[in-house]
Amino acid sequence: MTTILDLGPSTIRMVLPGQVPSHWAQAYIDAFAAQGLTLVTGDEPAHAGARYALAFRPVPGVLGAMPHLRALFSFGAGVDAFFDDVDLPDVPLIKSVTPTHAMRMTEYITGYVLAHHREMARYAKAQSDHAWKPKQHAAAHRRTVGFLGFGRLGQHAGAVLKQVGFNVIGWRASNTPIEGYDIFSGQAGLPAFLGKCDFMVCLLPLTPETEGIMNSDLFAALPDHAVIIHAGRGPQLVEADLINALDDKQIAHAVIDVFAQEPLPEDNSLWARPDATITPHIASAPDGEEQAVQIAEAIRKIEAGEQPDHVVDRTRGY
Ligand SMILES: NC(=O)c1ccc[n+]([C@@H]2O[C@H](COP(=O)([O-])OP(=O)(O)OC[C@H]3O[C@@H](n4cnc5c(N)ncnc54)[C@H](OP(=O)(O)O)[C@@H]3O)[C@@H](O)[C@H]2O)c1
């Protein structure tokens, strides 16, 4: 799906096909008007003349056919799908960074951490059995939540979990410290990080280095009571290795939001497992109204010769 923003000398043409909710169009009109830009919406993509394009999984070749592009905008925080296009134009690629995006991800992560920490499924089962079965649980400060990928989204969720009382640690590419957290980095730091995780949350971008990172070696290095929450990108998980790890009780439970094949096929064995929780890539979606404001501001900056925010580092791939 590709949305085209065609900025002419005095107007912006925006075409919103496919998955973009139509009510977002008004949000774009308002946000652009606030920047003194006139927006014209239409239903015919004006590819060749487009100066800005907004996409999530662009069809390879479509963006390369727009010689006047000045910037590309991603619908999501992840930009991996853009790099599948060998003809990706060499213009700034700007990722979506909106205030409620991080909050939504934090709701998802903290929700599942707390549900498992407080064994809510166990008490739901006890209720259905009319059974009064209290059980002691460890204090939050005795449990460690480790973020595999501790960037903007991870640190937002980590701060909330820390506030609740959990010990929070992070694994990242660079070894720059982050105040208040034990930070591990690189392949050398991975085993020590994994060994400490009662909960392991994947919030990595998909790059050649992170593809397949959740494999049998990683599961073997986790404690056998560990719960993993995967909200990064599907190809980071080797599904067959996860199924073996669950079968062999190397880990206790997997909450998975993203899959190599989406939608997850109906006959995938993960659907039926009591030790797996499946969600349909809903951990966090950007808010259209906030995104419209972000994009309008970025276009204003570019048109004024200023540097826009949140430009992807193409060497790192995120
Ligand atoms: N499921 C959903 O609904 C959903 C929604 C939004 C986003 N996501 C996923 O979440 C990801 C993270 O988003 P974000 O905004 O938090 O990204 P971000 O701010 O760029 O953070 C990425 C983190 O991953 C680390 N990292 C990257 N490559 C690494 C490597 N090879 N080894 C170790 N650490 C590595 C980075 O290390 P440094 O800190 O050293 O740079 C950083 O800590 C997105 O890319 C997307 O895949 C999923």
Q: What is the pLDDT of residues 169-184, one digit of tens each?
A: 999 999 999 999 999 9
Residue type for 61, please?
G
* Cβ contact 158:168 at 8 Å: yes
157 has pLDDT over 70: yes
Q: Which atom of ligand 1 is nearest to the CA of 206?
A: 47
Rounded distance from Cα 151 to ligand 1 centre (Å): 6
pLDDT at 44: 44
Which atom of ligand 1 is closest in space to residue 101's alpha carbon? 6
229: nearest Cα among 114, 77, 318 = 114
Q: Which are the catalytic amino acids?
A: 233, 281
- Closest approach atom of ligand 1 to CA 204: 24
Q: What is the pLDDT of residues 78-115, one digit of tens each?
A: 999 999 999 999 999 999 998 899 999 999 999 999 99
Domains of the chain, with CATH numbers? 11-98+286-303 (3.40.50.720), 101-278 (3.40.50.720)
List the single range of 12-21, 50-59, 219-228 with lowest mean pLDDT. Answer: 12-21
pTM (predicted TM-score): 0.92
Check residue 199 and give its pLDDT.
99
Residue 26, pLDDT above cutoff 80: no
Q: Flag whether pLDDT at 271 surpasses 70.
A: yes
Q: Which of 141, 145, 255, 121 is nearest to 198 (CA)?
A: 145
- In this predicted structure, the answer to whether residue 73 has a pLDDT above a threshold of 50 is yes
Give the position of tokens 């015919």. Answer: 44
Alpha carbon nearest to ligand 1 atom 48, residue? 232
pLDDT at 9 over 50: no
Contact yes or no for 189/171 (Cβ under 8 A)? yes
Q: Which of 73, 78, 62 is nearest to 31 (CA)?
A: 73
Give the model's pLDDT for residue 296.
86
- Residue 255: is its pLDDT beyond 90? yes
* Residue identifier of the C-alpha nearest atom 41 of ligand 1: 173
Q: How far apart are CA 287 and CA 101, in angstroms?
A: 7
Q: What is the mean pLDDT of residues 201-212?
A: 98
Cβ < 6 A, ligand 1 pocket: 76-78, 105, 149-154, 171-174, 203-207, 209-210, 231-233, 257-258, 281, 283-284, 318
Q: How far is the CA of 103 from the centre of ligand 1 (A)?
A: 15
CA distance 215 to 237: 7
**What is the whole-number distance in angstroms between the Cα of residue 196 and the centre of ligand 1?**
20
Q: What is the position in ligand 1's atom list of the atom closest to the CA of 170?
A: 43
Q: How far is the CA of 147 from the centre of ligand 1 (A)?
A: 10
Run of H or E residues at 128: helix 120-128
The percentage of the chain sitting over the pLDDT mark of 70, rounded to a whole number, equals: 87
Give which of 69, 30, 31, 32 is closest to 47, Cα–Cα: 69
Q: Is pLDDT at 48 greater than 80 in this prediction? A: no
What is d(CA 69, CA 84) in angstroms, rounded to the nearest whole number? 18
What pLDDT sits at residue 30? Answer: 80
